[in-house]
Amino acid sequence: HAKKEQHEDKIELVPFTVRLRVLLPLPLADAYDYRAPAGPPVPLGSFVVVPLGRRQAIGVVWDGTPDPSLPESRLRGVEQVLDAPPMTETLRRFVAWVAAYTLSPPGAVLRMAMSAPSALEARAPQAGWRRAPHPPEGARVTPPRRRVLDAVADGVPRAGGEIAEAAGVTPAILRGMADAGLIEPALLPHRRVFATPDPAHPGPALGPEQAAAAATLREAVGRHAFSTTLLTGVTGSGKTEVYFEAVAACLAQGRQALVLLPEIALSSQWLDRFRARFGVAPALWHSELTSRTRRETWRAVAEGEAPVLVGARSALFLPFPDLGLIVVDEEHETAFKQEEGVVYHARDMAVVRARLSSATCVLASATPSLESTTNAATGRYATVHLPARHGGAEMPDVALIDLRRTPPERGRFLSPPLVAAVTETLARGEQAMLFLNRRGYAPMTLCRACGHRMRCPNCTAWLVEHRAQRRLQCHHCGHVEAPPEACPECGAAHSTVPIGPGVERVLEEAAALWPEARRLVMASDTIPGPAAAAAAAQSIQRREVDLIIGTQIVAKGWHFPHLTLVGVVDADLGLAGGDLRAAERTVQLLHQVAGRAGREEHRGHVLLQSFAPEHPVMQALVSGDLDAFMAAEADDRRPGHWPPFGRLAALIVSAEDERAADRTARDLGLAAPGGEGIEVLGPAPAPLAILRGRHRRRLLLKTRRDIAVQPLLEAWLAKVSVPGSVRVQVDVDPVGF
């Protein structure tokens, strides 16, 4: 009898209507059920409009079993199936994988893959212009009109502003041409049209070592199967030209290629080289695109129309239908780690996406991360190495200046040997660079009368003086205030003094020492965007600048042929603090900066000012033997199961109320997982104990490599109830700690 009842229940529960699971781009725990629209079945991955509360939302038809307990009466219907290519199974699996790995809600990851739902939002078609197919005979074609016709030569409709800019004409010219019947109004395409890069376009001829390396990569792409290759080689060895050949091989197969760069805004020289190799510009993806360009680029990618896309880390979530290659250039860069929202490392996720796409992954760097060198050593990654600089240029020689023996004058920051070297370089008509990874004028302001230090009201951080803008600024929350007339603590008038240098202060010193030299500061406040960066790079290349003073911006892949001297003002700067990777990162950064010197006929020289010349980091930079340094670094981390020899996850507990943060941190500490190969460190104050007004505590979960942290974290978090005012952020594989 019981059996029969169950059977009847089951029959009743079989849904009459077809239910669809729809994942919404919101931080929700799961997909929701909706009633399928009438008509043909809706394929998985389709973009659909559904009601959500009193609003509408765009979501994606997702895998999974509908929830049979939800009664028919509560089920709401899908309102519309959008006319866009459905999200591929590969991308859906990637979204699910990233969500599971980072312990993020799948919808939050989906949001990145939809690049904010606006990429799909319906909009009225926009009007533009195209070349008239049958222009009247005898219409006057002046030179400006000729330029306009050239700009629309391919027959594709373009926005008026875009044409006017390309042709250097005013909108009035366009109207005149329309009246004359030379151009006509047309609706703009819903996707951007990207020219197809030509793999056979004649690029620079490769040197023999480059050619051998390129052949290996081409062969990897040709296998049409997943593999990862670590492409290493000294700075200036021409790795870019080598991986361009992998891009060419991928294009020849008719698959799409993705190149991730750490800072698109600083990549003007890279784009020039791409154009030199392939004859056209690639599609671009970064945070500063207009929403319209985003929408159109997203659409072009989804329709397989952007053969090569160059982007920031978020480009990994674009809907490539057939991705054959992912290159991660400067794979060691921390810019690939996203710290807000879904916390993920684009280098690691690139490998995952390549695996799911049966694609080739190439990780390139002159200073690869210990993660990647370890994977190469164990054979998980193949390796390709370029041992020498392109064109026979020599590696720069690196020497130390012991600041204990030859200190700068009082109140100065450049030591006599560094000053002499810059003077000689400038006298020879060559360029010099001073590197200090600190923006502004001084990192701290102190009251001489009482010792009070100016600190941020919202963060555990000193306020940084930006003298040019006459203000003190917090580099963590953006708080800004005017420099005090009197000490806010003791009231003494004009008693505050700057402590330590930033690039502005080095500039001041340089101006006094070399008044004739043409100086350029490269920092994020002086180089606010791609155009400024390109202009700066050009004026350096054209020798309109003698002395460059810069923050880490100058360490990126620049090629400045006339730069022969690099002076590092404070080589010890990155070594302070308890960060596991402080030494590794300092070596990487300073080696990259050093690598800007002497890239063509003249040998480069690098001088490192340090109070600790005997430190292994300084010794590695002088010897240039980074492999030995990384081997020693590995030996340090291996016994304690520190990454990459063990796994690490951080829980950051934060709240405006300090006691609330402490309570939750303590509860998490009490509920901490344990067992063989599992260790929990903390709770302890997080590196920025107060950030944007929130008190932060941290717990670190460290496990052996063969233990997955995600199930442990899930079970752990489930044991502790977290009040609404407290946030617990999970960071799997944290980088800065």
User: Does residue number 368 form part of the binding site for ligand ADP (CB under 6 A)?
Assistant: no
Q: How many residues sit in the footprint of ligand ADP (CB under 6 A)?
A: 18
Stretch that binds Zn ion, among 77-85, 471-479, 599-607, 648-656 (CB under 5 A): 471-479
Footprint on residues 557-576 left by ligand ADP (CB under 6 A): 557, 559
The count of other CB atoms within 10 Å of the CB of residue 453 is: 13
207 binds ligand ADP (CB under 6 A): yes
Choose one: 205-213, 336-344, 374-382, 545-553; the region binding ligand ADP (CB under 6 A).
205-213
Q: For Zn ion, give the closer residue by CB, 472 or 527.
A: 472
The correct pick among 77, 125, 161, 204 for binding ligand ADP (CB under 6 A) is 204
Answer whether 317's CB lies under 8 Å from 115's CB: yes
Q: Is 458 in the site for Zn ion (CB under 5 A)?
A: yes
How far, CA to CA in Å, does 486 sit from each of 446, 448, 470, 491?
A: 11, 11, 15, 5
CA gap 312, 306 in Å, rounded = 16
Q: Is there binding between residue 476 and Zn ion (CB under 5 A)?
A: yes
Q: In the bound complex, what is the minimum distance in angstroms from residue 736's beta carbon to Zn ion?
A: 17
Find out whether 477 is annotated in a ligand binding site. Answer: yes
Which residues on neighbouring strands pair with residue 680, listed in sequence order? 701
Q: CB of 442 within 8 A of CB of 500?
A: yes
Q: What is the Cα–Cα distance from 78 to 71, expressed in whole angstroms?
A: 16
DSSP, residue by residue, 697-728: EEEEEEEETTS-HHHHHHHHHHHS---TT-EE
Q: How far is the CB of 285 from ligand ADP (least distance, A)?
A: 21
Q: Are 687 and 736 in contact (CB under 8 A)?
A: yes
Tokens encoding 7: 């059977």
Segment interacting with ligand ADP, rule: CB under 6 A, options 28-36, 237-245, 398-406, 428-436: 237-245
Give 88 or 372: the residue with its C-beta nearer to ligand ADP: 372
477 forms part of the interface with Zn ion (CB under 5 A): yes
Among residues 209, 264, 218, which one has the least CA distance to residue 237? Answer: 209
Phi, psi (degrees; rounded to nearest 5) at 184: -140, 155
At which residue do the structure tokens 């006929």 appear? 601
Q: Which amino acid is at 60?
A: V
* Tokens 């997702």 belong to residue: 62
The partner in contact with residue 93, picked from Zn ion, ligand ADP, none with C-beta cut-offs of 5 to 8 angstroms by kind, is none
Q: Give backbone dihedrals phi and psi of 694, rounded to 5 degrees, phi first.
A: -110, 135
* Residue whose pair of structure tokens reads 């023999």 in the numeric block: 208
Q: Single out the residue of 113, 300, 306, 366 in contact with ligand ADP (rule: CB under 6 A).
A: 366
Select 160 or 483, whichever has its Cβ closest to Zn ion: 483
Q: Which does 474 bind (CB under 5 to 8 A by kind): Zn ion, ligand ADP, none?
A: Zn ion
Q: How far is the CB of 82 from ligand ADP (least distance, A)?
A: 41
Closest separation between CB of residue 690 and Zn ion, Å? 8
Instruction: Judge whether 250 is annotated as a binding position.
Output: no
Q: How far apart are CA 632 and CA 734, in angstroms?
A: 22
Binding site partner of 459, from ligand ADP, Zn ion, none, Cβ cut-off 5-8 A by kind: Zn ion
Q: Which stretch binds ligand ADP (CB under 6 A): 54-62, 81-89, 202-210, 564-572?
A: 202-210
As a whole number of angstroms, the distance between CA 388 and CA 330 comes to 18
Helix (H, G, I), strand (E, B) or coil at 646: strand
Q: Which is nearer to ligand ADP, 48 or 242 (CB)?
A: 242
Instruction: Identify the residue among 232, 235, 268, 445 touching ligand ADP (CB under 6 A).
Output: 235
Degrees to nearest 5, angle at CA 662 with 657 and 666: 155
Beta strands in 330-477 (DSSP E): 337-338, 344-345, 360-365, 382-386, 397-402, 431-435, 444-447, 464-466, 471-473
* Residue 598 makes contact with ligand ADP by CB under 6 A: no
Contact, 462 vs 455, CB < 8 A? yes
Binding letters toward Zn ion, positions 416-455, x by CB under 5 A: ----------------------------------------
Considering only residues 481 to 500 of the shown chain, the ones binding ligand ADP according to CB under 6 A are: none
What does the alpha-carbon distance between residue 290 and residue 49 come to, in Å, rounded to a whole number? 24
The type of residue at 374 is T
Site string for ligand ADP, 385-414 (x = CB under 6 A): -----x------------------------
Does position 206 interact with ligand ADP (CB under 6 A)? The reply is yes
Cβ at position 592, least distance to Zn ion in Å: 28
First to last CA, the chain: 63
- Residue closer to Zn ion, measured from CB, 479 or 666: 479
Measured CA to CA, the distance from residue 557 to residue 266 in angstroms comes to 9
Query: Is 311 a residue that touches ligand ADP (CB under 6 A)?
Result: no
Element (H, E) at 689: strand 678-691
Kindly tell me which of 692 and 727 has the beta carbon lying closer to Zn ion. Answer: 692
Closest separation in Å from C-beta 617 to ligand ADP: 21
Q: Which residues are annotated as a binding site?
A: 447, 450, 456, 459, 474, 477, 487, 490
Q: Which residues are annotated as a binding site for Zn(2+)?
A: 447, 450, 456, 459, 474, 477, 487, 490
Residues lying near Zn ion in the complex (CB under 5 A): 456, 458-459, 474, 476-477, 479
Residues lying near ligand ADP in the complex (CB under 6 A): 204-207, 210, 233, 235-241, 273, 366, 390, 557, 559
